[in-house]
Structure 1
Amino acid sequence: MQLEFVDAIAEIAECDWNRAAACDYPFTRFEFLHALEASGAVAPDRGWQAHHLIIRRQDQLVGVMPLYIKTHSYGEYVFDWSWADAYQRHGRPYYPKLLAAIPFTPATGPRLCLIDEGERDDIVAALAVALPKHANDIGASSLHILFSKADMAAMWSQHGLMQRIGPQYHWYDRDYGDFEGFLAAFSSRKRKGLRKERRVVAEQGLDLQVLTGAEISAAQWRFFFHCYQLTYAKRSGHGGYLPESFFTELATSMPEHLVMVLASHGDEPVAVALNFRDQHTLYGRYWGCIREYEFLHFEACYYQGIEYCLREGLRHFDPGAQGEHKIQRGFTPILTYSNHWLADGDFSAAVQRFLDEEQVHIGNYLREASEMLPFKKADGV
């Protein structure tokens, strides 16, 4: 098996990368990763040096893995700032580190992409040795694989990479049929509360439309980006990690994966939510507004997404990181997974103790959070 590391995704042919990526999960596709690099959102001067892994056997491509050399921990959503601080306090460098992840995207999915899944066990076993060695060779303190699927995270763990869990809140179609069927699963009080939120949105004179792919106009993309920047300016004091050219490239290169929810007051657009999709899942990614309206965020980011899933036959809605308020709106607390290897044995042992304690707390939290779900207890949810 030959391992090659490339400093730009453009160094491999798009058709070859996507042949290895194999599925339509949008965030490991060449188009998405290329847009990040071509727009400058991912670049060495932004703390993201592309270092993608290309796996070959007898000169034949067998797999790929999005990899980055990181000089900070922004844009990852699995927070290791305390680990970096501990290194610094002991006079040791935590950065650079080697990261297998999708930049700015806390969405679970494939990280190691293989043409033949039958080779997975052997390749994971080989990479569990080769990737830490490579991290050492390039002077990285550690290796991190973020938001893997549960079975892959378990495999990395079996080969010595520490496992970390975290909470998110996802919606699943339990054969509801339509939105009224979804609401029918709620307790009476919770159902009335959600209906009130939707009624208040309508009473404020707001209209919402769902646009997909080529239906989204250049003017609507400009409005979206303005709202995207406003959201980050309010929250973080900057205009966001992603430039406008990132979104305009995606509009051209992968429109079939894009779903926009646009809210208007009269003829004026006032808010927008951008989602990605594949054959089975809707991924809520960005939201912004130019004016605040009561409950509009819930309508645009959650209820319109659920209705879209039910219409289109998507069984799963991942609305993004954080947001305990999602639970009472029918989003189930679930676990996310990451894996970690640290070169320093003493720090590795300390982090493992931390992860063991954290796992107990998160397990307890998920059990408590599940009691907050709005569904009728008789449904066994």
Structure 2
Amino acid sequence: MLIDLRIHTSIREIPEASWNALDGVAEAPFLSWAFLDTLEETRCVGRGTGWIPYHMTFWEAGKLVAAAPGYLKDNSEGEFVFDHGWASAAHRIRLRYYPKLIVASPFTPATAPRLLVSAPDERSRLIPALAEALRTIVEKGELSSAHVLFPTEPEAEDLAKAGFAHRLGIQFHWHNEGFATFDDFLSKFSSKRRNQIKRERREMQSQRIELVTARGGDITPEVVDATYEFYTSTVDKFYWGRRYLNRPFFEAITSRLRGSIEVVLAREGKKMLAGAFNIAGPKALFGRYWGAREDRPFLHFNVCYYHSIEQCILRGISRFEAGAGGSHKMARGFEPSLTHSAHFIADKRLDSAVRDFLEREAPAVREAAGQKELAWK
């Protein structure tokens, strides 16, 4: 049966209820209609940002069967699957690399379905339609390429079968193995590592720092102000840091995704010293941003890792993705985990060079991801 592709330059062209009813949204709030709309409404995406909404819906016999969040990009910022070297190679052969098309949730390096479907068992059948749509958009729009970032492994494999280049990446994720308590979690570590974490946790008590998670109505305007300050203080420290998000975004998203936004706060009396902005799904917690007004010993580890691990254990959350990068997370119980992306590059010369690179890159990534036991030694 013929599948009809429709392009939408704003999420508001798609009914909210229809989008949110698709499989994949409920498990990942950063794919929800409200999240994507808030990015547009607060102008974190749109003209002048490098992220132009280009969402796709797929229709069969007049029925919405799938959708994918898409963006036209004139740079490679905020994606976390780094292709700057590919852009440089394109320049050397006098090929225009931008604009390009990506399928992703902006500024969010977290794994979740990228093809949202009306029924879970339809995803594999509809992936070829997504692949064909991306190729058509690239060719008709005279784009260089299309990139599906942080899909699930089955999606990436199906896209590879459809002719896309499959890239592997690595992050560090915590997995709940049925731990009853934080001490139960600590029992997995070697004695030396276990005692180290206990010392780091006790440091908060010795400094009289209290850690709490603010949810729902506890995220007051004061907490929003502090969260934005924490966010900017971190990104401003690095030359490559970018303020992708603004104060209106944090204010709006904490209201619109009231049940899915969590802010871990470190308080010294009434003073908020540091915080972490997290997004909570029903089965996974996604750590996104952190910052501090003061540098304190082990504050980062407690705010970003230990407190939320304990909360995941208490609430029965199965996975905690603490964001991109950071091999130091292994010493805190985060195991190396594979991430995936899939890429269609129209120019055969560049495509061949990229595939050769990915073929050489993959074994090293797989080897690093296989060293899970190092997280506990």
- TM-score category by the smaller chain? over 0.9
Per-residue Cα deviation, 1:318-360 (whole angstroms, up to 9, x for no partner): 1100010000111010100000010011111111010000001
Aligned to 1:219: 222
Q: 2:99 aligns with which of 96, 101, 113?
A: 96
Aligned to 1:14: 16
What's the offset of the Cα at 1:371? 4.2
Q: TM-score, normalised by structure 2?
A: 0.96
- Equivalent residues in 2 for 1:144-223 (5 A)? 144-223=147-226
Gaps of 5+ in 2: none
What's the offset of the Cα at 1:260? 1.1
- Equivalent residues in 2 for 1:306-345 (5 A)? 306-345=309-348
Amino acid at match of 1:332: E
Q: 2:372 aligns with which of 356, 370, 373?
A: 370
What's the offset of the Cα at 1:236? 3.4
SS at match of 2:22: helix
Query: Separation in 1 of the partners of 2:240 and 2:286?
Result: 25
Amino acid at match of 1:341: F
Q: 2:352 aligns with which of 349, 354, 376?
A: 349
Q: TM-score, normalised by structure 1?
A: 0.95
Query: Separation in 1 of the partners of 2:242 and 2:229?
Result: 9
Aligned to 1:29: 32
Aligned to 1:379: none
Q: Report the CA distance shift for 1:32/1:371 in structure 2 as closer, same or farther (over 3 A).
A: same
SS at match of 1:91: coil
Q: Report the CA distance shift for 1:210/1:121 in structure 2 as closer, same or farther (over 3 A).
A: closer
Per-residue Cα deviation, 1:91-124 (whole angstroms, up to 9, x for no partner): 1100011100111000000110001233323321
Amino acid at match of 1:7: T
Q: Would you say how many aligned residue pairs link Structure 1 and Structure 2?
A: 374
Query: Separation in 1 of the partners of 2:327 and 2:199?
Result: 20
Any conservation in 2 of the 1:168–1:334 contact (CA below 8 Å)?
Answer: yes
Query: Separation in 1 of the partners of 2:21 and 2:205?
Result: 45
Amino acid at match of 1:149: T
Amino acid at match of 2:253: L
Runs of 4+ residues over 4 Å off in structure 1: none
Q: Report the CA distance shift for 1:258/1:157 in structure 2 as closer, same or farther (over 3 A).
A: same
Aligned to 2:41: 38
Any conservation in 1 of the 2:66–2:116 contact (CA below 8 Å)?
Answer: yes
Query: Separation in 1 of the partners of 2:164 and 2:43?
Result: 31
Q: Report the CA distance shift for 1:238/1:343 in structure 2 as closer, same or farther (over 3 A).
A: closer
Identical aligned pairs, as a percentage? 36
SS at match of 1:256: coil
SS at match of 1:20: coil
Q: State yes or no: 1:109 paired with 2:125.
A: no
CA-based RMSD: 1.3
What's the offset of the Cα at 1:174? 1.0
- Equivalent residues in 2 for 1:60-75 (5 A)? 60-75=63-78
Query: Separation in 2 of the partners of 1:238 and 1:170?
Result: 23
Query: Separation in 1 of the partners of 2:242 and 2:83?
Result: 24
What's the offset of the Cα at 1:237? 7.1
Aligned to 2:7: 5
SS at match of 1:250: helix
What's the offset of the Cα at 1:273? 0.7
Any conservation in 2 of the 1:214–1:251 contact (CA below 8 Å)?
Answer: no
Per-residue Cα deviation, 1:241-274 (whole angstroms, up to 9, x for no partner): 1011111111111110011111111221110111
What's the offset of the Cα at 1:365? 2.4
Per-residue Cα deviation, 1:100-152 (whole angstroms, up to 9, x for no partner): 01110000001100012333233212222232122110111001000011111
Q: Report the CA distance shift for 1:208/1:87 in structure 2 as closer, same or farther (over 3 A).
A: same
Per-residue Cα deviation, 1:164-183 (whole angstroms, up to 9, x for no partner): 00110000111111101001
SS at match of 1:236: coil
Any conservation in 2 of the 1:201–1:293 contact (CA below 8 Å)?
Answer: no
Amino acid at match of 1:130: A
Aligned to 1:257: 260
Q: Report the CA distance shift for 1:239/1:162 in structure 2 as closer, same or farther (over 3 A).
A: closer
Query: Separation in 2 of the partners of 1:159 and 1:17?
Result: 25
Amino acid at match of 2:14: I
Query: Separation in 2 of the partners of 1:283 and 1:127?
Result: 26
What's the offset of the Cα at 1:218? 1.0
Q: Report the CA distance shift for 1:349/1:121 in structure 2 as closer, same or farther (over 3 A).
A: same
Which stretch has the larger CA shift, 297-306 or 55-64? Answer: 55-64
Gaps of 5+ in 1: 376-381
Query: Separation in 2 of the partners of 1:84 and 1:210?
Result: 41
Query: Separation in 2 of the partners of 1:239 and 1:91?
Result: 28
Amino acid at match of 1:218: P
Query: Separation in 1 of the partners of 2:274 and 2:102?
Result: 34
What's the offset of the Cα at 1:17? 1.1
Any conservation in 2 of the 1:230–1:239 contact (CA below 8 Å)?
Answer: no
Q: Report the CA distance shift for 1:240/1:160 in structure 2 as closer, same or farther (over 3 A).
A: same
- Equivalent residues in 2 for 1:229-308 (5 A)? 229-236=232-239, 240-308=243-311
Any conservation in 2 of the 1:258–1:276 contact (CA below 8 Å)?
Answer: yes
What's the offset of the Cα at 1:211? 1.3
